[in-house]
Chains A and B, each alone.
Chain A
Amino acid sequence: VKFVDEFRDADLGQAVAAEILSLVEPGRHYKLMEVCGGHTHSIYKYGVDDLLPANVELVHGPGCPVCVIPMGRVDDGIALAHEPGVIFTCFGDMMRVPGSRGSLLEAKAAGADVRMVYSPLDALRIAKQNADREVVFFAIGFETTAPSTALTLMRARTEGIANFSCMCNHVTIVPPVRALLESPDLRLDGFIGPGHVSTIVGARPFEFIPADYGKPVVIAGFEPLDLLQAVAMILRQVAAGRAEVENQYTRVVPYEGNLRALQVMAEVFELRPHFEWRGLGFISHSGLAISERFADLDAERRFSVPGVRVADPKACQCGEVLKGVIKPWECKVFGTACTPERPIGTCMVSSEGACAAYYNFGRFARQREVV
Chain B
Amino acid sequence: MKVVAVDAARGLALCADAAGARQSVETALVEPVAPGDRLLVHAGTAIAALASEPR
> Do B44 and A147 have beta carbons less than 8 Å apart?
no
The interface residues of chain B lying within 8 Å CB-to-CB of A251 are: 50-51
> Do B43 and A2 have beta carbons less than 8 Å apart?
no
Known: A147-B29, A147-B47, A258-B29. Contact between A2 and B54, CB under 8 A?
yes
Distance, CA A1 to CA B1, complexed state (A) = 11
Which one of B43, B44, B51 has the greatest number of beta carbons of chain A within 10 Å?
Answer: B43
Distance, CA A122 to CA B26, complexed state (A) = 11
> Do A118 and B23 have beta carbons less than 8 Å apart?
yes
Known: A2-B54, A144-B42, A145-B42. Contact between A258 and B47, CB under 8 A?
yes
> Do B47 and A261 have beta carbons less than 8 Å apart?
yes
Indicate if A121 sits at the interface (CB-CB under 8 A): yes
> Do A252 and B29 have beta carbons less than 8 Å apart?
no
Interface string of A108-150 (1 = CB under 8 A from B): 0000000000111110000000000000000001001101110
Distance, CA A213 to CA B29, complexed state (A) = 33
The interface residues of chain A lying within 8 Å CB-to-CB of B47 are: 144, 147, 196, 199-200, 258, 261
Distance, CA A253 to CA B48, complexed state (A) = 8
> Do B44 and A119 have beta carbons less than 8 Å apart?
yes
The interface residues of chain A lying within 8 Å CB-to-CB of B24 are: 121
Distance, CA A3 to CA B28, complexed state (A) = 23
Interface string of B34-47 (1 = CB under 8 A from A): 00000010111101
> Do B48 and A199 have beta carbons less than 8 Å apart?
yes
Complex: chain B residue closest to A125, CB-CB: B24
Distance, CA A3 to CA B38, complexed state (A) = 11
Q: How large is the interface on A (under 10, 10 to 19, 20 to 34, 35 or more residues)?
A: 20 to 34
- A residues 171-213 near B (Cβ < 8 Å) are 196, 199-200
The interface residues of chain A lying within 8 Å CB-to-CB of B48 are: 199, 252-253, 258
The interface residues of chain A lying within 8 Å CB-to-CB of B44 are: 118-122, 148, 152
Interface string of B17-33 (1 = CB under 8 A from A): 01000011010110000
The interface residues of chain A lying within 8 Å CB-to-CB of B26 are: 121, 148, 151-152, 155
Complex: chain A residue closest to B54, CB-CB: A2
> Do B50 and A3 have beta carbons less than 8 Å apart?
yes
- A residues 39-60 near B (Cβ < 8 Å) are none
- A residues 231-290 near B (Cβ < 8 Å) are 251-253, 258, 260-261, 264
The interface residues of chain B lying within 8 Å CB-to-CB of A145 are: 42-43
> Do A120 and B43 have beta carbons less than 8 Å apart?
yes
> Do A196 and B29 have beta carbons less than 8 Å apart?
no
| Contact residue among A1, A2, A91, A147 (Cβ-Cβ distance under 8 Å from B45) | A147
The interface residues of chain B lying within 8 Å CB-to-CB of A122 are: 44
The interface residues of chain B lying within 8 Å CB-to-CB of A120 are: 43-44
Complex: chain A residue closest to B31, CB-CB: A260
- A residues 144-173 near B (Cβ < 8 Å) are 144-145, 147-149, 151-152, 155
The interface residues of chain A lying within 8 Å CB-to-CB of B11 are: 155
Complex: chain B residue closest to A118, CB-CB: B44
Distance, CA A140 to CA B33, complexed state (A) = 27
The interface residues of chain B lying within 8 Å CB-to-CB of A200 are: 47
Give the A-binding residues of B (Cβ under 8 A).
11, 18, 23-24, 26, 28-29, 40, 42-45, 47-48, 50-51, 53-54
Give the B-binding residues of A (Cβ under 8 A).
1-3, 91, 118-122, 141, 144-145, 147-149, 151-152, 155, 196, 199-200, 251-253, 258, 260-261, 264
Known: A120-B44, A148-B44, A152-B26; 10 extra A-B contacts, CB below 8 A, are: A119-B44, A121-B44, A122-B44, A148-B45, A196-B40, A199-B48, A251-B51, A258-B29, A260-B28, A264-B28
